[in-house]
Structure 1
């Protein structure tokens, strides 16, 4: 399924779906759904793709999502206690996909909009190690990959076999990996690029004035956060983690450090999430002074203080905005807890490697 601009699920390759008990789900695929090479997209393609997702041999970083969705045997397969063919998904016929869950899940259909559940073509995957390269990658979406130059650009063009291609408007889209928000803003203002997803926060008010109607800050279905290494180092102590979390002044970060419509993150799930109406967080009901006081007590209990200051490294991927946030947070930790923070930025690939290998104390992340 797909999502509209409000985050509501709408038909995609599946024209309809149903479940009588929220445990057994049936998806009906479109007769005219095709891969970019013109071959039909079938229910078996989804069976293959989802089995491949949870197969430990694939080493998919998003295999856990199938387990989170509650698909029968997903976790057992990921843990090596069952085989991929035991996953609770089957093809009733070429255009009917059946999914079995461990327990009823009324919102399961919405989870299938995740890219983790996108299908891949078996023949394409098994064609060789270069199957993901331009000219060889065969997808079933609105666009196909035409060109990719690492760290320079990525170009996509319409997939003429896409079932809804008649509504495709843009005939070519070029993505540019510009790490520096100021550089991206300059190129936008010069007319070199048509859209940029970020800009230096300190330019927000100026841009609103200089280019009215061109700056858009929609509600974000996502959360910006710092993840702690819970396996080693000082942050393996839950008291240290809680103290660090408590002394991040979320209100100040949202209103002053950023100031472009962000909201304090009192819950991991964004408050704009459909159907999410949480109770107030305990942190939200306390003043920052109260939070700081409790954090100091926690850190002392963990064995840190003026005679033994906490030292850690805060890692983020290269970005002016990430750097700005990191500097602000490091300042809060230093001021309120006496923490010595070393800021470290890495290019994306190196950053991902560090994250996957656990080579960090605290790391920037988002979801």
Structure 2
């Protein structure tokens, strides 16, 4: 994602402090959120849903900033949109399953996708969900008058004329989406997009009821009363500043028979210790653990670690300081800090060292099934001796014996520990390097990134859809998320070539080669792939953790009797 959706970290406020840009993350949140929950806990077959109240009591790391699918950019918004709304498809345990669309066909050239919609889907006010609702929502998302951030980002270069509409060059009616009757949606793409099915699960592509949205005007999506739902649950007792709310089973949902949960209650809790206290008291069914609590609870029966698809890295701005324009300086920095020490000591939550960009267990070769990360292997590792060699070569090329740089990072307590560790490692292993640590609130770092007003900064990204393009398009020349002056023509050509073919093997090879170039150029310095540690009640079952889209899926969840 563009600006953090994900509160994917386990440490309270870690995303707030570390996560500059990412698809499923938000600038706040963390381990106290319901989004810090695990897939499920096993239960005995004797545990019957009939014997247990079908209610989860859950915690959230912060308020929900918006429930307008055109304006959502963070994980909390997308999580609750995913629970209360339904698009063409849903994501279940990383697999794409039917939603409003029953099926689809793709033209031979890969440019026209035709979706057959079910006729029994309804909005919570009883109106039918139709193809016109998708057309209206998608047009609204790219209409420049709407001011959506994710509309042009997710649809630009994918749906025909999305960029042109957003730039004001053509009318919104020329966006490549149309209704063929009430229950057939036709989508014309700008380029063949093999991953469009997974992209269509994303929150920006949800339908909207035009009459209702326009009747609400500026008040739309600011409270329960100004929302409609077509998903498994309804959002109740909510307004934009609410610190508590609830989800209730939606009786109008087309597949309501599948939904076992009757209710989920939420309260905002930002402190991990408070969350754990509520869990111990039986007032919460989940609690995320910050690193200092992991040692205390790692032997607890309910302790669980869940891997995530978010990768964190150092961005190195090649335009603000001439030293970072030198590839050997960047190569030195990439190898000069102990990543294992970070994940073992500071995070202590199951996170893994990252030595590439595309995360482990995210994408497999279409022919061999081998994992992307396994194929490309470790592209940059901690190696202080090699780092010094690159450093000395870079200083010689610059004609200096010292370099002064600023390190931009977050300001939470955990972030401060990590920032200080990295700065100390870099200065110790690279003689002559003088780093000034600048620790600021999340929104201030966003501004600095947008204005490229930094030297080195800590950032992260989580996937928007199941394809390596979600990672590798970040570093295209002048790309909206690049913001560090990186440019490599060969890299651009490889990544762009994946948009013009449906040959999945050729796309995979291009992605693999592009990632290698990224690290030959030392454009970024990977740090770790995140995980989260939490306590989960044995009553929680069938809550699926997704590698893209809403972080968690509750449609199939249920409360079961503990052994």
Distance in 1 of aligned mates of 2:403 and 2:445? 29
Distance in 2 of aligned mates of 1:336 and 1:41? 60
Residues 1:119 and 1:244: Cα distance change in structure 2 (over 3 Å)? farther
In structure 2, the gaps of 5 or more residues are 1-88, 365-370, 463-563
CA RMSD of aligned residues (A): 3.2
Of the candidates 133, 139, 148, which is equivalent to residue 229 of structure 2?
Answer: 139
Q: Deviations over 1:211-243 (max 9, x none)?
A: 21x222223132233445566567974746655
Distance in 2 of aligned mates of 1:235 and 1:155? 52
* Partner residue in 2 for 1:58: 146
Residues 1:85 and 1:363: Cα distance change in structure 2 (over 3 Å)? farther
Q: Deviations over 1:83-122 (max 9, x none)?
A: 3222211111211111122332333211111122122222
Greater alpha carbon shift after TM alignment, 38-47 vs 357-366: 357-366
- Give the TM-score, by structure 1 length: 0.83
Residues 1:142 and 1:322: Cα distance change in structure 2 (over 3 Å)? farther
Of the candidates 171, 176, 182, which is equivalent to residue 267 of structure 2?
Answer: 176
Of the candidates 424, 437, 441, which is equivalent to residue 342 of structure 1?
Answer: 437
Of the candidates 167, 172, 181, which is equivalent to residue 84 of structure 1?
Answer: 172
Partner secondary structure for residue 9 of structure 1: strand
Q: Deviations over 1:111-154 (max 9, x none)?
A: 11112212222233322211112211223222222213627234
Of the candidates 94, 98, 115, which is equivalent to residue 182 of structure 2?
Answer: 94
Residues 1:88 and 1:149: Cα distance change in structure 2 (over 3 Å)? closer
Distance in 1 of aligned mates of 2:450 and 2:274? 29
Displacement of 1:10: 0.6
* Partner residue in 2 for 1:204: 294
Residues 1:159 and 1:231: Cα distance change in structure 2 (over 3 Å)? farther
Of the candidates 84, 99, 102, which is equivalent to residue 15 of structure 1?
Answer: 102
Displacement of 1:67: 2.4
Displacement of 1:307: 4.9
Q: Structure with the greater relative contact order (CA < 8 A, sep ≥ 6): 1 or 2?
A: 2
Displacement of 1:304: 9.7
Distance in 2 of aligned mates of 1:32 and 1:25? 22
Q: Does residue 330 of structure 1 match 2:330?
A: no
Of the candidates 252, 264, 277, which is equivalent to residue 161 of structure 1?
Answer: 252
- Aligned residue runs from structure 1 range 97-108, under 5 A: 97-108=185-196
Distance in 1 of aligned mates of 2:283 and 2:394? 50
Distance in 2 of aligned mates of 1:164 and 1:294? 62
Q: Does residue 251 of structure 1 match 2:340?
A: yes
* Partner residue in 1 for 2:460: 365
Distance in 2 of aligned mates of 1:350 and 1:140? 36
Work out the number of aligned pairs and report it.
358
Displacement of 1:281: 5.1
Residues 1:268 and 1:81: Cα distance change in structure 2 (over 3 Å)? farther
* Partner residue in 1 for 2:133: 45
Distance in 2 of aligned mates of 1:91 and 1:247? 55
Displacement of 1:301: 6.4
Distance in 2 of aligned mates of 1:232 and 1:178? 39
In structure 1, the gaps of 5 or more residues are none
Q: Does residue 265 of structure 1 match 2:354?
A: yes
Judge conservation of contact 2:356–2:378 (CA < 8 Å) in 1.
no
Displacement of 1:329: 2.5
- Give the TM-score, by structure 2 length: 0.56
Residues 1:364 and 1:305: Cα distance change in structure 2 (over 3 Å)? farther
